[in-house]
């Protein structure tokens, strides 16, 4: 078990697990989502789009 599929992208399990154990908030996770991307070199980059959508809905 090395990764999870969430938001339509594959994410590294160890990174997500560390963030959960560190009790990172959603803003932190969205800022660093690229670090969890499992196959960043092979797939479209969604991180910026996800963060910008979140930012447009929530006042940071």
Asked if 30 and 51 count as a contact pair (C-beta separation under 8 A), the reply is yes
Q: What is the pTM of this model?
A: 0.67
Q: In this structure, what DSSP letter does residue 32 have?
A: T
**3-46 pLDDT tens trace:** 566 667 788 889 999 999 999 998 899 899 889 887 756 667 77
Domain holding 47, by residue range, is 3-57
Model pLDDT, residue 24: 94
Model pLDDT, residue 40: 59
Give the confidence band of 54 by pLDDT, cuts at 50, 70, 90: confident
Model pLDDT, residue 51: 83
| Structural domains counted in the chain | 1
Chain centre to alpha carbon of residue 21: 15
Token code pair at residue 49: 């789009």
């Amino acid at each position: 078990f090395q990764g999870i599929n969430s938001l339509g992208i594959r994410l590294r399990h160890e990174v997500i697990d560390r963030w959960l154990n560190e009790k990172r908030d959603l803003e932190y996770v969205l800022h660093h989502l690229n670090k969890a991307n499992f196959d960043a070199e092979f797939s479209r980059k969604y991180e910026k789009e996800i963060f910008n959508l979140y930012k447009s809905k929530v006042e940071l």
